[in-house]
Amino acid sequence: MRPYIGSEIGELETVILHRPGTEMLRLTPENKDDLLFDDVLWLERAQEEHDQFAKVLTDHGVQVLYLRDLLSQTLEVTEAKSYLVKEVLSACESGCGGDSSIQHWAERLSPTDLADVLIAGITKEELLEQLPTVSSMTLATMGNDDLLLPPLPNHLFTRDSSSWVYQGVSINAMQHPARRRESLSYRAIYRWHPLFAGQDFPLWCDGDTSPGVTMEGGDIQILGNGAVMIGVSERTSSQGVEQLSAALFKGGVEQVIAVHMAKNRAQMHLDTIMTMVDHGTFTKYVGAGMMPTYTLRPGDDGSIHTTENPPEAMNDVIAQALGVDSIITLTTPQDSRAAAREQWNDGANTLAIAPGVVVTYESNVNTNEYLTAQGITVHTIPGSELGRGRGGPHCMSCPVSRKPLT
C-alpha cells in the first residue's frame, strides 16, 4: 500500500475508520457539549451502523484499517509506547502526569489495553482498581467517576485529525481541546506503525498547535490537477490555511482555493455543505450560497501570492483550479426547512468511493433521490446514532489511497 490521495473521487483503495467503542459510554448529558456531541448515543446501535458503513466499503474492494488496531500495533514498538505515554500524561489536565507510578503502570500495560485507555480515557475508580497504592491530593479531591484522562469520542471522525493530501499527510492542529490529543495517535502511527514507518512521505503539518493556527480535515478537499480546496470555517483559521499551503507548495501543489464560510456549528467544516461526487461535480447545500474565495499560489521567493475573489466567482474559481470550463453543483430542490434539516443530518457529507459512486446517510431521502436522478450511484447507510456527533460518511473516513483519475 502506497499512500496517495490525488482527488476526492478516485477509486478508493485504503481508508482509516474508527469503530465507536467504550469512549462513547463516557458521554453524558453534562459533558456532551464539552466533548462536541449533540447527544449521548446508543453504542450497540452505533456499532451496527458503523459496521454497515464498513461493509459497503469492503464490498467495493476497499481495504479498511481500523484506528484502534493501528494504534495498538504501533504501541508494540517500545519507542512509540514511551512517546505516547509521556506525551499524553504530560497533557493530562488532572495532573496525573506528575505521578511516576502512573507512568510506570501505563508503560506496563499491554499494547491493546493501553490503546483502549488512550482512546476511552480512565476514571479515578478504574485507575485505583489497577493501581491501589497511588495517592495524591488531586486524587483525594476527585469523585470515583471523575475522569483522570478524558475520552476521545471524536476519533469516530477520522478525517479531521489526519488528512492525506497528494503524496503526503497533514496531522492537523485541532480547534477544540477535546480533540487535540487525537493528533498524538496519528503522529505515533505514521512514525512507527509498520505500514507507514518504512515509507518516505512528506509530513505537511505535525499537529502542533500555535496561537491562532488551526486546521481540521473536514475543511480539506483534494481537487486534483495540483489543486486543493480548504474551508476557512468555525474550526479552520486563515493562519492554518496559510501554514498548510506553504508546506504543500514546497511539495509541488500549484494552488489552494480558500473558501470563507459562515462560522457556525451546523456548517463547522466545508464538507458539511459541499463535497465532490463526480468529475467536476459537487453536491451542495442550498443555504451555503456563493461564498468569497481566495486563490493562493506559490511565489518565486517562497512567499504566497493571494488573489481575492468575489462570492459570485466561486464556481469559476473552482473550475479554473480543476482545469475545466465549468463545474456542476447539485443542489437538491426542496423548501428551506427541509434543506436545513437534511444539511443538519449531513446531507451534503458524501464519501465518494469512485467517480459518480457515493455513500450517504439513508435519512436524507430528498438529497439521495435527487443525486440518483442526476446519475449518481448512491449507497445508503443508517446513521441515527452515528450522526449525533454531527458527522457523516465523509467525516468518518480518512482516505489513505485512491487510484489516479483517468
Q: Is 205 annotated as catalytic?
A: no
Catalytic pick among 96, 205, 395, 398: 395
Q: Is 219 helix (H, G, I), strand (E, B) or coil?
A: helix
C-alpha cell at 356: 459518480
The three cell numbers of residue 233 are 470555517
Spatial separation of the C-alpha atoms in residues 78 and 63, rounded to whole Å: 27
Q: Which is it for strands 357-361 and 377-381: parallel, antiparallel or unpaired?
A: parallel
**Of the candidates 223, 169, 203, 196, the residue with the CA atom closest to the CA atom of residue 352:** 223
- Which secondary structure element, helix H or strand E, spans residue 358, and what is its range? strand 357-361
Q: Parallel, antiparallel, or unpaired: how do β-strands 328-330 and 281-284 relate?
A: parallel
3-state class of 248 per DSSP? helix
Q: Measured in whole angstroms, how far is the alpha carbon of residue 18 from the centre of its chain?
A: 11
In 196-303, which ranges are E strands?
203-206, 220-224, 227-232, 255-260, 274-278, 281-284, 293-298
Taking Cα atoms as reference points, which of 386, 398, 396 lies closest to residue 44?
386
CA separation for the pair 56, 226 (Å, rounded): 30
Is-contact 125 145, C-beta < 8 A?
Answer: yes
Closest to 277 (Cα-Cα) out of 178, 373, 385, 349:
349
Three-state DSSP class for 247?
A: helix
| Residue 387 per-residue DSSP state | G
Q: What are the Cα distances from residue 366, in Å, to 49, 53, 361, 371?
A: 21, 20, 11, 9
Q: What angle do helix axes 182-192 and 78-90 make, rounded to 10 degrees?
A: 160
Type of residue at 181: R
Q: Which residues are catalytic?
A: 395
